[in-house]
Amino acid sequence: MRVGIVMPLADLRGGAELMMLHLLRANKQLTNIEYTLVFFENGPLVKEAEKLGYSVNIYHTGKLRQFGRYVSTVFSLFQWMKRENIDIVMSWMSKAHLYAGPAAWLARIDAIWFQHGTPDMDFLEKCLKYIPAKAVLCPSQAAKESQSRNNPKLRTIVIYPAVDLREYDPSALPPSKEVRKTLGLPVKSRIVGIVARLQRWKGIHIFVEAAALVAKDHPDIHFVIVGGNHRSEPDYPDELASQALSLGIANKIYFAGHQANVSSWIHSVDILVHCTVGIEPFGMVIIEGMALGKAVIAAKAGGPLEIVTHSENGLLVPPNDAAELSMAILKLIEEPEYYTELCSAGLNRAKAFSTERLSNDMAEFLESLRIGA
C-alpha cells in the first residue's frame, strides 16, 4: 500500500517531527507499507527522510490567507497523489490537512490526519470540521477525548508515540559521570533536570520554584534546564533567569538551551521532571527518561497518566504545584531504595513504546482503512 504523508514542518525540535522520523526509520523493516512524502519547507527532517531512501517533494505554501497560493498548493498535492498512485494520504499535522484534505477529496483518495495536541476551537480547528477525513489520529486517550468533543462524528484513533530505545539505551552511553564532565556539569552532586522548550505551559517556572524549596534542605543539589527559546514567548527565558536569581539559586541552576544530544543530557541527571501546567498531549520526554533508567516525576494530567503508574514506575504530582513537586523530589533523594525501584520499573515500562511498535500499530491501522474495517 502506498501512503502519502504531508508534513508542514521540516525541523527536528518538536515531538511531532521526532515521531515522524521514528516511524520512517522503523518502517524500513516492513514490506506492506510504502511511504512517499511532501513537506511544506526544507530542513533537517527532509534530509533524514532522503537518507532513508524515501521519495520527497517540497511545496512552499506561503501564507494561508494567500488564496492563490493555497489553490496552487492544493492542485500540486492533487497531481502528486495521482502521479504517485497513493492509496491513502496522511496529514501529519492539522495544518497540513487544510491543503491535503481537499486535494485527496478531488483525487477520491481517503484522507486522515494527526492531531498531536489537545485542540481548542480556534479558526484552524473550525475549518478542519468541514474538510473530509476518514479518521483523525491522536497521541493519547486524553488527546482523543479532547478531539472527540470538538468533532464527535469523526472517527478518532490513538497511536502512541515512540522512543528510539537504541538511542536511549544507558548501556550504549558512557557512564553518567563521564557525560557530566563532557557537558560541564558537577560530577559528584545529585542533579535534577527538566527537558522542554521554554514555554510557560511547560511549567519551567514551577520547576525553578520547586528547586528553591529542595535547595533549602539539600543545598548540594544542582538543577539543569535543557530547552531552547520559543518565538511565541521571547521574554520567558529572562523571566526564568530572574526568578532563579531572586530565589537565591542562580548558582545551582544551569540553563543549557537547545541541545541536539538530548539523550546525553538526560543521562547526566538523577531525576527527570516533567511539570506542564497545561494538558500535555503525551509527554515523550517521560519515556526517554525511563528508557535511560532515570526516576521520573510527571504532572498528573493528560498523556502522562497513560505512561506513569504513580509510585510504581514514577511519581505523579498535581500540575502547577511547586510544593508537591519539591516533596516528590525530596522523597526520591531521601529514599535511595525506593528511587532504585522506580528507576528499574520505569526502564521496563519504556519498552512498551518502541519505534517498532509505532510502525506496526500504524501499519495495522492503515491496512484496516484499506479493507474498510
For 45-75, write each residue's pLDDT tens digit. Answer: 999 999 999 999 999 998 877 889 999 999 9
User: What is the average pLDDT score of the chain?
Assistant: 95
How would DSSP label each residue in 7-46?
Answer: ES---SSSHHHHHHHHHHHHHTT-SS-EEEEEESS-SHHH
Closest CA to 12 of 225, 183, 228, 279: 228
Q: How far apart are the two ends of the chain, measured CA to CA in Å?
A: 16
Q: Which residue, 141, 107, 104, 101, is CA-closest to 124?
A: 101
Place 370 in a pLDDT band, splitting at 50, 70 and 90: confident
| Rounded (5°) CA angle 55-21-72 | 50
For residues 352, 353, 356 and 359, what is the CA-based torsion angle, rounded to 10 degrees? Answer: 120
Domains, the chain, with CATH or none: 2-162+354-370 (3.40.50.2000), 170-353 (3.40.50.2000)
Average pLDDT over residues 196-222: 97
Residue 198's pLDDT is 96
pLDDT (mean) for 340-357: 98
Alpha-carbon gap, residue 199 to 118, rounded angstroms = 16
The pLDDT value recorded for residue 121 is 64
330-358 mean pLDDT: 98
Pair 278, 260: CB distance under 8 Å: no
Q: Give 312's DSSP letter.
A: T
At 64 the pLDDT is: 76
Burial class (CB in 10 A: 0-12, 13-18, 19+), 126: exposed
pLDDT-derived band at 373 (thresholds 50, 70, 90) equals: low
Q: Tell me: the pLDDT tens digits for 157-206? A: 999 999 999 999 999 999 999 999 999 999 999 999 999 999 999 999 99
Do the Cβ atoms of 355 and 23 come closer than 8 Å? yes
